[in-house]
């Protein structure tokens, strides 16, 4: 049967609305789709993304057309998404939904094949990357890149006051960066900065020679949650193409059943 048969069925969403309440964003959330992404080196990686897609709804329209969001994903199955072209998918969404404002977001595990620091053994490390494009009325679209990077932190106080040892733990660094107009930004570069500034970075495969090195490196390089957030912030100030950012660090403390946490937001215009 053809889609045309829809025409004989009432289109409730298109009815007029008289409540005088415009809706900032309405659409779908939590839809998963297999995707390809392209990183800095131009290499395509297959992964699975979770999408959120929403548009502005003017006060006189009863509903949006929800099926068009899913349709967009299905018709863009062969795209390879990148920071540079994500805004195209976004513009296409707005066109289809007859919208001047909206937000599209995709979150996916991204893998880097890292080599262990001494043995050179390869191993896939996973990171969570989010791309987000957003437009407010009368503005150009914004693109955001968000990375969540697991690292090691080792406590400077614990090291300083103890005869031996120092508590350390897995931490998560989250960088949510707004890309300046007419530039691009690579999520790998943000990931790399978070790893370089941590007490030590993580690996999926470590031999004993590697384990010795990462243990000693962390001990030589103690960082409070406050130190790590400051050191990353200073590095981010020098990243080209980054207009503003929110940076978070959470340490899953090995001596407590709660986290130490820090957050800061900076804008180039500040």
Footprint of a copy of itself on residues 232-251 (CB under 8 A)?
Answer: 233-234, 250
> Does residue 37 belong to the site contacting a copy of itself (CB under 8 A)?
no
* Burial class of residue 78 in the structure, from the number of CB atoms within 10 Å of its CB (0-12 exposed, 13-18 middle, 19+ buried): exposed
The single residue among 98, 157, 183, 196 that binds a copy of itself, judged by CB under 8 A, is 157
Residues between 8 and 27 with contacts to a copy of itself, criterion CB under 8 A: 9-13, 17, 19, 21-27
Q: Count the site residues for a copy of itself by CB under 8 A.
A: 112
Residue with the two structure tokens 């006060």: 59
d(CA 58, CA 22): 5
The single residue among 37, 73, 145, 185 that binds a copy of itself, judged by CB under 8 A, is 73
The single residue among 39, 45, 88, 188 that binds a copy of itself, judged by CB under 8 A, is 45
Encoded tokens for 165: 């040892």
Q: Build a one-symbol-per-residue string for 172-211: x at contacts with a copy of itself by CB under 8 A, - elsewhere.
A: ----------------------------x-xxxxxxxx-x
> Does residue 214 belong to the site contacting a copy of itself (CB under 8 A)?
yes
Encoded tokens for 224: 């409070």
Q: How far is the CB of 108 from a copy of itself (least distance, A)?
A: 8
- Quick check: 128 and 148 in contact, CB under 8 A? yes
Nearest in space to 197 (alpha carbons), one of 215, 165, 159, 171 = 171
DSSP code for 62: S
């Amino acid at each position: 049967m053809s889609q045309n048969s829809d025409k004989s069925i009432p289109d409730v969403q298109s009815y007029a609305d008289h409540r005088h309440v415009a809706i900032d964003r309405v659409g779908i959330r939590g839809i998963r789709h297999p995707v390809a992404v392209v990183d800095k080196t131009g290499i395509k990686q297959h992964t699975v993304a979770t999408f959120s897609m929403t548009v502005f709804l003017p006060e006189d329209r009863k509903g949006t057309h929800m099926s068009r969001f899913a349709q967009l994903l299905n018709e863009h199955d062969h795209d390879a998404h990148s920071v540079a072209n994500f805004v195209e998918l976004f513009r296409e969404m707005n066109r289809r939904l007859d919208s001047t404002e909206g937000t599209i977001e995709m979150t996916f595990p991204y893998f880097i094949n890292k080599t262990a620091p001494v043995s050179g053994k390869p191993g896939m490390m996973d990171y969570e990357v989010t791309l987000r494009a957003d437009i407010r009325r009368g503005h150009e679209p914004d693109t955001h890149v968000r990375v969540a990077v697991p690292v090691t932190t080792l406590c400077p106080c614990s090291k300083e006051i103890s005869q031996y040892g120092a508590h350390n733990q897995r931490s998560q660094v989250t960088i949510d960066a707004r890309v300046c107009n007419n530039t691009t930004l690579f999520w790998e570069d943000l990931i790399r900065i978070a790893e370089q500034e941590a007490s030590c970075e993580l690996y999926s495969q470590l031999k004993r020679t590697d384990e010795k090195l990462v243990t000693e490196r962390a001990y030589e390089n103690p960082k409070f949650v406050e130190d790590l957030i400051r050191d990353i912030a200073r590095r981010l100030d020098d990243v080209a193409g980054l207009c503003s950012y929110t940076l978070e660090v959470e340490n899953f403390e090995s001596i407590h059943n709660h986290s130490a946490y820090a957050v800061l937001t900076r804008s180039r215009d500040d």
